[in-house]
Chain A
Amino acid sequence: GAVVSQHPSRVICKSGTSVKIECRSLDFQATTMFWYRQFPKQSLMLMATSNEGSKATYEQGVEKDKFLINHASLTLSTLTVTSAHPEDSSFYICSARGGGNAEAFFGQGTRLTVV
């Protein structure tokens, strides 16, 4: 299957700082990328959907000013968690679809811990 690379895999940051997570499609052009969040023992929750060159569409309850999503190219999307707080600690996962694929492929996830 297609490869989606997410970086970093783990990050620890201080409360009040910002963290950027990158998601790259390595062997296909991702016309659409998705960002999910997963808390312990829970399922993945969709945060936002972004099409290349367009503003992201956020799910209800997700603060767009706190979770900044940029999808400036067909192979790269970034999620920036601004002014992070301990309650933002979670597993963040990106997904990408495109290149004629009917299925979406996922990155390996980023474990964010805010201290």
Chain B
Amino acid sequence: DAKTTQPPSMDCAEGRAANLPCNHSTISGNEYVYWYRQIHSQGPQYIIHGLKNNETNEMASLIITEDRKSSTLILPHATLRDTAVYYCIVPPRKTYSGAGSYQLTFGKGTKLSVIP
């Protein structure tokens, strides 16, 4: 399984870009990188996912290095509501199936605090 490593905590000034790193050096060639976040006392929220190319959506951008051993989630203009625990997850390829039953295993994530 591709294990991920994230810093336990980060601070970011409101309005600035938040760059959250993730190391996944044992990722296999066809395994995706997923990012979720969990705001206190809520269920996790999907943010973005990618395989090789950089991805962008209305919430964030995902930058994946060429060797795919690490990635960075970028929140371009952090707000106080972005304060949450951010999880970088690489579901094991072996749990993919035609029914899409891949499993998300949550580590400790990065606690992002956006400061006014």
Binding site for B on A (CB under 8 A): 1, 4, 6, 31-32, 34, 36, 43-46, 49, 51, 91, 93-95, 97-98, 101-109, 111
Contact = CB atoms under 8 A, between A and B. Distances in A.
B103 A46 contact: yes
A43 B106 contact: yes
Contacts of B108: 43
Grouping DSSP codes into helix (H, G, I), strand (E, B) and loop, the B interface class, with mixed when no group exceeds half, is loop
8 contacts: A1-B46, A31-B99, A31-B100, A34-B104, A46-B103, A95-B43, A97-B100, A107-B43
Contacts of A34: 103-104
A51 B101 contact: yes
A65 to B, nearest CB: 22
Nearest to B108: A43
Given A51-B99, A98-B100, A102-B32, A109 B42 contact: yes
B43 A108 contact: yes
Mostly, the A contact residues are: strand
A106 B44 CA distance: 6
Contacts of A6: 43
Interface string B31-42: 010101010011
Given A44-B106, A97-B100, A106-B45, 13 more contacts: A32-B99, A32-B101, A44-B38, A46-B104, A46-B106, A93-B44, A97-B101, A102-B100, A103-B46, A106-B43, A107-B43, A109-B42, A111-B41
Nearest to A4: B43
Contacts of B45: 106
Contacts of A98: 100
Nearest to A101: B100
A108 B43 CA distance: 4
B49 interface: yes
